Structure 1
Amino acid sequence: MAMTADGPRSAAERAQHDQAMRESPGSPVIVLGAGLAGLATALHLRDIPVVLVERDSMVGGKARSHRRDGFTFDVTGHWLHLKHQTTQDLVQGLLEPGALIEAQRRTTIYTHGVMLPYPFQANLHGLPLAVMGQCLAGFIGAWLRTRSGKVIEPRDFEDYVVRRFGRGMARHFFIPYYSKYWGMSLNELASDWHVNYVPVPTLRQVLSGAVGSRQDGLGYNARFLYPAAGGIDMIPQAMHRACTALDTCTTQLSTSVEEIDPRLRRIRLTSSPDWVTWHSLVSTIPLPDLLDRIPALPPEVMAARGALRSLPLRYLNVATRTRSPMREHWVYVPDPGFPFYRVGTFSNAVAAMAPPGCAGLWVELSDHSGRVDIPDALRALARLGAITDVEDVLFVEQHEVEHSYVIFDSARKAAVHTIQSWLAEHDIHICGRYGAWAYGSMEDAIVDGIAAARRIHTRHPAGGS
């Protein structure tokens, strides 16, 4: 009897699968999720029939904007960083000249009662002398150990920051900030989730920053692009217009997935009671949600699905009748006395995000469950200097993102590999931050979608090489 990834296959099942394979070349590629990854996939399939399926009534996924009373709010900060020529050409080609502005990042850390330039580890000047001394001594000790060649693989993320930056910086910034960010102990996190996202300064930069020479330009997001008219959703909307201009691409909005049958390469959507056969399936929806729509998963895949963990994000949109006293685009707040870990001001980047003389802010809350004390959060914003006074607030909206941050614990990597391998055997491709259960920027999502399209092109009879 033939064996498959999900166990023995009977003669009848083999016949059904073979028939599905014969029929699928004329079937479309179905792309689940019209966020940046899904849109990029659909846009780059071009000469292959594509059905783009989106649960919401609008495209964009997390790169969406909400408008109210002249204010525009994204789903927290969405600043576009394009380091690849492919994505630069794509985005610029979709938009009119001048549609994007380029800005120099203005970001600080509020800690120990002072505002420090970002990143903390390279801008220690202004801290209490005892604190700065602990940070410098720890960093120099870590640097010397690295130079000696005595490098030990870190056990977890907390161990990484201690080994790389020293106990002083770990104690005074990394542990308090990322504990608020993740809502858990850092020794529960794998050591490699931060690759490319936590700046590592040189010893010269650390020493220069400690004596007051501001160290700017560190990190992947030193400069960013943003729509001049306000609202990050301009980019996915432009991508969707380009998709719909293709004769081969159709979109089904307000449509959810009911069930997926990998063996027979078919899917049932809420838009129709009938099964739809697919040639290839691309999923950018959260990986647990995809698996929950596939009945009778193999035991090893079901176990891997149980190992997938994520954090919800609760945030506030705050509109004020006055401008923000802060000039920063966003501020990191490791101090446990504040109920949020990051605060940003949309209108500091693009004035059109708020009516004249007003400000629009987002506030990322530390608590992931329980009642949100909005008055307390507003008072904390005033203490931080993000708003002039609580009385200036016009309205506050509370929002939640179910899967906001994938938890990079010790089980994630193996679990994703097990799931991805099994899905690939059924020509199901996962991509994007949530589809591939990873961590990445908007550009990473677009690159992921392009790569998925290229993989399908090599296997689809209508596609090019």
Structure 2
Amino acid sequence: MSVADHSTPSAGTGSQHVIPNGDQVVEIETLVIGAGPTGLGAATRLDQLGRSFIIADSADAPGGLASTDVTSEGFYFDVGGHVIFSHYAYFDDALHRALPNDEDWSTHQRVSYVRSAGNWVPYPYQNNVSQLPLDLRVKCVDGLIAAAEHRAQTPGHKPKNFDEWIVRNMGEGIADLFMRPYNFKVWGTPTNKMQCKWLGERVAAPNVRTVVRNALTMQTAGNWGPNATFKFPMKDGTGGIWTAVANQLPSKRFRLSKSGEVVRVDGPSRTVEFGDGRRVKYKNLISTMALDRFLDCLDGGAEQRSVDRMRSIAKDGLVYSSTIVLGIGIRGKRPDRIGDKCWLYFPEDDAPFYRATIFSNYSPYNCPQGDVKLPTLQKADPSLPFDKAPSGGPYWSIMLEVCQSAEKPIDLDTLMEETIKGALSTELMLPTDEIVSIYERRFDHGYPTPSLGRDGALSQLLPDLRDEFNIRSRGRFGSWKYECGNQDHSFMLGVEAVDNALFGTPEMTLHETDWVNGRRNIERRLV
């Protein structure tokens, strides 16, 4: 599969939903742009309430950035690292309604490591420096103690950026060995150019006493974080979840492909023009398009100066990186060195990818079955000879992610070659491994960066769009908040946007993410 550039990827499986041809102008109470998790959350809530709506997406199928592709050989690859865990009963209800049977799901205990100094260090790295060589262990522990002493001396100090937060909480040793290089590989932005308000439950602050004790006894810390246990669909990858969620909605409500491609948004008249020439006049608009791209489509009419000001704010304050997802399908039994590993982190420069997922471990259906005969494309070491005749499995697979940004350029022409070399240097693969499938796809908007100027920009853009044009921009790139960009968050951003538009209900996921993450949210149910 060659590199493609998509901001709204398509799911690899599932039925298509369309609205029959009708009048050139359709009037609707609520128009939802985007059929990813946020748009489907909005549509699910609107359908539950019995309200009129249309959901539109330029892709051929629902799923958005939570879709799944299938290679011609039959390997499934998500368009990024996605697993299911939840803070919301409503989200759980929606998924249970879509995939109600136990056999629809597999449940996993996270087995995650960081590749560091030639070792597999259990995640989170900062709690498991006991697994490093002695000199690096000493460097990390010394930095942790120095950081604790500094915090005691400056109890009222608040870090001004992510780099200050790292050093204040973890010390220079862990900062240099893991946090700085890894986060640059993820975000394509130096840590001193990122804020730290977004962290919440995503980064574990180490317990100094535990780290020191483990460093002396060579023990490891237990699992941490909300995804220590997670679910994954048995078939069709993550995209299959969202196809199933979409199938619970009336097919007549969907506009996909050309009929769902936004060409122009007339803010004052509250009308959207689509790629097939038809227009929809709305009372409420919930957009999950990337906020910067949405503003490019917005026509302010007499209020154009206001729209131009919004575009300028977005250009100056909103930063993002692109993501390239690569997949490698391999013939053979999953090796013992891989075992039951889930996802793995790579801070060092011996590999271009920042994360690798052993995707075949999530479900046996993520690979072709063993009786499928496939030809070998190459050995992992391309200089080695191989038999070109098709032969059977078993098979296993690796999915890898690479960041591209203005500060972190990538040569796309050689990326797959460099990725395979990186997989060899980090012992993910051996030179004799037979590669039978390769997959590569680029997403222009991959990660919404929590830059220093982000919150200031959002504090103007989101209220102005709502107040001037009754537009609620929500979702991973619609509201540009990575901290509420998990699948459960994204879905509920759509649900809560609907309730806010119709009833004025507060949007807690958008505005109080830490509060939401700290509890089981049962206020809404889909039963």
Q: Calculate the TM-score normalised by the size of structure 2.
A: 0.78
Match of residue 385 from structure 2? none
Match of residue 16 from structure 1? none
Structure 1 unaligned spans of 5+:
1-23, 461-465
Match of residue 45 from structure 2? 44
Find out whether 1:269 has 2:274 as its counterpart.
yes
| 1:133-165 CA distance string (max 9 Å, x none) | 111121122234434562411121111100111
Letter in 2 for 1:41: A
SS of 1:131 mapped into structure 2: helix
Match of residue 152 from structure 1? 157
Find out whether 1:334 has 2:344 as its counterpart.
no
CA distance in 2, matches of 1:279, 1:260: 13
**Alpha-carbon distance change, 324 to 297 in structure 1, aligned in 2, over 3 angstroms:** farther
Given that residues 70 and 77 in structure 2 are in contact (C-alpha distance below 8 angstroms), is that contact kept between their aligned partners in structure 1? yes
Find out whether 1:383 has 2:425 as its counterpart.
yes
Shift of 1:208: 4.1
SS of 1:28 mapped into structure 2: strand
Q: 1:315 aligns with which of 325, 330, 337?
A: 325
Structure 2 unaligned spans of 5+:
1-24, 371-393, 506-527
CA distance in 1, matches of 2:315, 2:112: 37
User: Paired residues, what number?
Assistant: 433
Match of residue 456 from structure 1? 501
Match of residue 474 from structure 2? 431
Match of residue 32 from structure 2? 31
Match of residue 251 from structure 1? 254
Shift of 1:344: 1.1
**Alpha-carbon distance change, 366 to 62 in structure 1, aligned in 2, over 3 angstroms:** closer
Given that residues 378 and 390 in structure 1 are in contact (C-alpha distance below 8 angstroms), is that contact kept between their aligned partners in structure 2? no
Given that residues 324 and 387 in structure 1 are in contact (C-alpha distance below 8 angstroms), is that contact kept between their aligned partners in structure 2? no
Match of residue 369 from structure 1? 410
Shift of 1:180: 1.6
Given that residues 230 and 350 in structure 1 are in contact (C-alpha distance below 8 angstroms), is that contact kept between their aligned partners in structure 2? no
Match of residue 311 from structure 2? 302
SS of 1:155 mapped into structure 2: coil
Shift of 1:459: 6.5
SS of 1:59 mapped into structure 2: coil
CA distance in 2, matches of 1:450, 1:390: 50
Letter in 1 for 2:34: G
| 1:290-323 CA distance string (max 9 Å, x none) | 1010133514312212122210011211111124
CA distance in 1, matches of 2:235, 2:278: 42
Instruction: Indicate the larger mover: 119-128 or 141-150.
Output: 141-150
| 1:223-280 CA distance string (max 9 Å, x none) | 11101224111211121111227xxx61001021011111111111112x34321010
Q: Calculate the TM-score normalised by the size of structure 1.
A: 0.88
Shift of 1:30: 0.6
Given that residues 258 and 270 in structure 1 are in contact (C-alpha distance below 8 angstroms), is that contact kept between their aligned partners in structure 2? yes
Identity rate of aligned residues, in percent? 24
Given that residues 26 and 281 in structure 2 are in contact (C-alpha distance below 8 angstroms), is that contact kept between their aligned partners in structure 1? no
Deviating 4+ runs (over 4 angstroms): none
Letter in 2 for 1:102: T
Query: What does 1:49-448 correspond to in 2, within 5 Å?
Result: 49-68=52-71, 69-98=73-102, 99-147=104-152, 150-210=155-215, 211-244=217-250, 250-254=253-257, 255-271=260-276, 273-295=277-299, 296-298=304-306, 299-307=308-316, 308-325=318-335, 326-327=338-339, 328-355=341-368, 356=370, 357-367=394-404, 368-370=409-411, 371-389=413-431, 391-425=433-467, 426-439=469-482, 440-448=485-493
CA RMSD after TM alignment: 2.1
CA distance in 2, matches of 1:42, 1:27: 13
CA distance in 1, matches of 2:280, 2:419: 48
| 1:6-36 CA distance string (max 9 Å, x none) | xxxxxxxxxxxxxxxxxx9963311000000
Shift of 1:170: 0.6
Given that residues 322 and 388 in structure 1 are in contact (C-alpha distance below 8 angstroms), is that contact kept between their aligned partners in structure 2? no
SS of 1:422 mapped into structure 2: helix
Shift of 1:111: 0.5
CA distance in 2, matches of 1:194, 1:97: 35
Shift of 1:58: 0.7
SS of 2:264 mapped into structure 1: strand
Letter in 2 for 1:369: I
Shift of 1:214: 2.0
| 1:422-441 CA distance string (max 9 Å, x none) | 11112101111111111021
Shift of 1:401: 0.8
| 1:202-226 CA distance string (max 9 Å, x none) | 2343234423322122122111110
**Alpha-carbon distance change, 64 to 110 in structure 1, aligned in 2, over 3 angstroms:** same
Given that residues 379 and 390 in structure 1 are in contact (C-alpha distance below 8 angstroms), is that contact kept between their aligned partners in structure 2? no
SS of 1:198 mapped into structure 2: coil
Match of residue 21 from structure 2? none
Letter in 1 for 2:77: F
Given that residues 258 and 268 in structure 1 are in contact (C-alpha distance below 8 angstroms), is that contact kept between their aligned partners in structure 2? yes
SS of 1:169 mapped into structure 2: helix
Letter in 1 for 2:43: A
Given that residues 282 and 430 in structure 1 are in contact (C-alpha distance below 8 angstroms), is that contact kept between their aligned partners in structure 2? yes
CA distance in 2, matches of 1:452, 1:76: 25
Given that residues 161 and 195 in structure 2 are in contact (C-alpha distance below 8 angstroms), is that contact kept between their aligned partners in structure 1? yes
CA distance in 1, matches of 2:416, 2:244: 35
Shift of 1:130: 1.4
